[in-house]
Amino acid sequence: MAVNITGRSLLTLLEYSPEEISFLLDLSAQVKRESRAKVIHRRFAGKTLAMIFEKRSTRTRLAFETAFAEEGGHPIFLSIQDIQLGAKESIEDTARVLGRMVDAIMFRGYKQETVEALAKYSGVPVYNGLTDVYHPTQVLADLMTVQETFGRLRGVKLVFMGDGRNNMANSLMIGCAKMGMHYVISSPKELKPEESLLRTCLEVASETQAKIEIIEDPQKAVEGADVIYTDVWASMGEESKQQERERLLRPYQVNDAIMKSTGKRETIFLHCLPAVKGQEVTFEVIEGKQSRVWDEAENRKHTIKALMIATLL
């Protein structure tokens, strides 16, 4: 099946078919091989990428900026102190202006509605670099890392430990459902995923033979897991809830006991980073031999470069 996603935005992976995601992962592997071999292209020569940041970033900024510049393009960093986004100028008007001047837009911020408005009114591809609801470019890197490790995605069991309604839990549920994986959210009942998204993902899973479960008991959840994934206990903008989250999520810390409870020596550990070592994950696990977080972080760049190649050329 021929795949053509030129001109498409990426707001959430719900908008992409399993075939399109597989295409992006294959292209990401090609881009990574080129990087290892020091093969240089100038595929974005003459193109400009606007990068809008409401939230701070390490991996997302580095991945987009270096990927675009290495291909001969011009990335422009725009914080909310630099432009009028939603202040003296409406988001719709900012989008229209950007669409006349740049070839693509990356947005990292709070509201999903903002990135959707940018895509609707700009007329150019828009990439969701993180909102409070979704983080699709991170999940592309996660899927790539899992595929590199196990040689497949279908049937792989990935367990997310922690806040079951944060943007990573949401986006991993979508990605795993699309790719026929076995996805488990292990979280306290107070932090279960939103019902409407869960229903949507279960519908996707019924078509792809994926399996989605919500299991409160962390020991039971990780039995037979191939991948254990976690995230910080309080996301950006939720710092005031840190003490409450520590109380609720302490039983969901990823530690040696949890890793051993999988019953598999080949289980890997993933984290979207940044990590608070000693809270959601112990130092021994994230720095241990089962951790693949640094490969995962590198793969942000390769998957983002592949996404932009596929949608801009």
Residue 168's closest CA among 246, 222, 232, 117?
Answer: 232
Which residue among the candidates 103, 142, 163, 231 is catalytic per the annotation?
A: 231
Catalytic residue among 59, 108, 245, 271: 108
Please, is 241 exposed, middle or buried when counting C-beta atoms within 10 Å of its C-beta (0-12, 13-18, 19+)? middle
53: which strand partners? 79, 108
163 is catalytic: no
Task: Spot the catalytic one: 59, 271, 300, 302.
Answer: 300
Question: Is residue 272 annotated as part of the catalytic site, yes or no?
Answer: yes
Q: Cα separation of 182 and 58, whole Å? A: 30
Q: Choosing from 226, 272, 290, 292, which is the catalytic residue?
A: 272
Q: Is 231 a catalytic residue?
A: yes
Q: Is 176 a catalytic site residue?
A: no
> Does 59 participate in catalysis according to the annotation?
no
Nearest C-alpha neighbor of 273 from the set 61, 80, 115: 61
Compute the Cα dihedral for 161, 167, 168, 172 and give only its sign.
positive
Q: Which of 138, 147, 279, 290 is catalytic?
A: 138
Let me know if 8 is a catalytic residue.
no
Provide the annotated active-site residues: 108, 135, 138, 231, 272, 300
